[in-house]
Amino acid sequence: MKKIVTKEEPIAKDQLIRLLLTLQEDAVGAITESTESVDTLRLTWLGKNSEFLKLASSMRSVTPEDKQQIGAVLNGVKKSIESALASKQQLTNQQAESTADWFDTTEPGEQPPQGHLHIVTQAIAEITDIFNRLGFTRVRHPEIDWDWYPFEALNMPHSHPASDEWETFYIRYPGSPGKEYKKQKIVLTPHTSNGQVREMEKGVLPIRMINIAKCYRRQIDISHTPMFHQFEGLYVDKNVSIGHLKGVLDYFAKHFFGPDRTTRIRPYHFQFTEPSFEIDISCGICHGKGCKLCKEGWLELGGAGMTHPQVLKNGGVDTTVYNGFAFGWGVERTYMMKSNSNLDDIRLIYGNDIRFLKQF
């Protein structure tokens, strides 16, 4: 607050008005911010010894023609100060009230509606997102397909022992088969690899595809349901190495399971890849040393491999220029391995019990 200097000698009109306005500003500011009581503030700013009264008394030395004007300013300033005091009084009253009125802050809040996306949806979104960052684009191919795509196109003639692994559901032909060789039988796709040759048939190279879809096999037990989901990656480019496959899988594993996890590949056999691999991921508990949960330090994640030249040829890809890799894993299994959530029976996922669904 500025100190206002007053003198008994006559004072110029303009100066007096300026002093009054400055006082008004100071007073209103001080009253609003002060923690003193309203009565004390009133005494300070409008009381007997207040600056306001001192300035008001200097009216005496003002010329009569200026009196009217200064009188109006004086009234205005007084009103402002009084109104500031009144506001202060109101606030003080409210504060007093609210302390007196008991309010229960432990009462639960009003939550927005809370639905639940299925864990398969959540897993698909997460998987898609990770592969997107590596330039893979999600695609969709048929779930109910000509048997050529999931079998013969993948270098797997029907009687081949390798096709035993897939307990395939067959579909009654809707009419009668025509002459087209590839369109003789219809199956529920037992894996998402039918998307490989279908993707190549689009004729666009290079390929970075991620195909996530429902699959079907004639199995039901603690780790199998007749319907489940797979995600299938296909990468076709020039000079693709086994190291690239390892790089992509490692990137996925670190982002999906956590930065401290590593993957390894071991020899395996699939008809549609050569070489073929089994992918392991280090156990999240013991990090590869071996513990009660994993026994060996590694958990089996799924299959992968370098795309077989016959598969590329079936998709019309020039194998002298291009090669590639592919992988296909179960969404549910991958999610269950991530969550460490005691979710030990895959059938629960398709049980649709609301008490289960609401936990995710």
Partner 1 sequence: MNILVPDQWLRDFLKTDATPKQLKEYLSLCGPSIERINTVNGEIVYDVEITSNRPDAMSIVGVAREASGILPRFGIAATLLDDPYTEKIHTEKKDYKKIPLTITTTEALNPRWTSVIFDDIKIGPSPSWLVKRLELVGVRTINNVIDITNYLMHAYGQPAHVFDLDTIHQGIMKLRPAKKGEQVTTLDGKTHTLPGGDIVIEDGSGNLIDLCGIMGGKSSSITDKTTRVLLFVQTYDPAQIRKTSMNLAHRTEAAGLFEKGLDPELVMPVFQKGIDLIKKLAGGNIVSEVTDIYSKPYKAKSVVAKRAKIDSYIGVHLETKEIQNILSNLGCKTKITENEVIVTPPSFRRDIELDVDIIEELARIYGYHKIPTKLPDTEPPTIYEEPILGIEQKIKQKLGDWGYTETYTYSMISKELLDLVHYDEQETYMITNPISNDWVYMRPTLLPSMLMAIKQNTSFEQDLKLFELSMTYAYRKNNIPLEESTLIVAVSGSRYGKIKGIAESLFTLFGIPLPEMTEPANSSYQKSRSLRLGIYGQLGEIDLAVLQQLGIPKPVTMLELSIDRLLEHKKSVTHYTPIPKYPASFEDLAFVVPEKTHVAPMMKKIQTIDPMIKDVSLFDSYKNIRTFHVTYQSSTQNLTKEEINRIREKIISQMKKEFGATLKN
Query: What b/e string do you get for 201-236 counting C-beta neighbours within 10 Å, with b at 16 or more?
Result: eeeeeebbbbbbbebbbeeeeeebbeebbbbbbbbb
Best CA proximity match to 144, nearest among 216, 200, 229, 201: 216
- Residue in 46, 134, 343, 348 binding partner 1, rule: CB under 8 A: 134
Of 4 and 348, the one with the shorter C-beta distance to partner 1 is 348
109 binds partner 1 (CB under 8 A): no
The window from 35-43, 80-88, 94-102, 119-127 that contacts partner 1 (CB under 8 A) reads 119-127
Among 247, 258, 293, 340, binds partner 1 (CB under 8 A): 247
Q: How far apart are CA 137 and CA 325, in angstroms?
A: 15
When asked if residue 252 is in the footprint of partner 1 (CB under 8 A), the reply is no
Between 64 and 135, CB nearer to partner 1: 135
Angle, vertex CA 101, rays to CA 95 and CA 105, nearest 5: 100
237 contributes a contact to partner 1 by CB under 8 A: yes
CA 20 – CA 12 distance, rounded (Å): 12
**For partner 1, which stretch binds (CB under 8 A), given 39-47, 53-61, 80-88, 165-173?**
165-173
Per CB under 8 A, the segment of 10-18, 75-83, 101-109, 138-146 that binds partner 1 is: 138-146
Check: CB of residue 212 under 8 Å from CB of residue 127. Answer: yes
Q: Pick from 64, 108, 161, 203: which binds partner 1 (CB under 8 A)?
A: 161
Cβ nearer to partner 1, comparing 47 with 157: 157
Q: Which of residues 311-340 bind partner 1 (CB under 8 A)?
A: 323
CB 281 within 8 A of CB 337: yes
Instruction: Determine, following the binding rule CB under 8 A, whether residue 224 of this chain makes contact with partner 1.
Output: no
Pick the piece of the chain touching partner 1 (CB under 8 A) from 31-39, 53-61, 335-343, 347-355: 347-355
Encoding tokens for residue 357?
Answer: 């669904």
The answer to whether residue 289 forms part of the interface with partner 1 (CB under 8 A) is no
Within 10 angstroms of residue 250's Cβ, the number of other Cβ atoms is 17
DSSP for residue 36: S
Can residue 343 be called a binding residue for partner 1 (CB under 8 A)?
Answer: no
* Rounded CA Rg of the chain: 41
204 binds partner 1 (CB under 8 A): yes
Q: Does 240 bind partner 1 (CB under 8 A)?
A: yes
Q: If binding is defined by CB under 8 A, does position 278 make contact with partner 1? A: yes
Residue 307 CB, nearest distance to partner 1 (Å)? 9
Stretch that binds partner 1, among 16-24, 31-39, 50-58, 208-216 (CB under 8 A): 208-216
Task: Give the interface segment with partner 1, choosing from 6-14, 73-81, 334-342, 346-354 (CB under 8 A).
Answer: 346-354
Beta-carbon contacts of residue 11 (< 8 Å; ≥ 6 apart): 58, 61, 62
According to CB under 8 A, which one of 50, 143, 288, 313 is a site residue for partner 1?
143
Strand order in the sheet with 207-216: 137-139, 207-216, 227-237, 323-330, 298-307, 273-282, 263-270
Strand 137-139 to 207-216 pairing: parallel
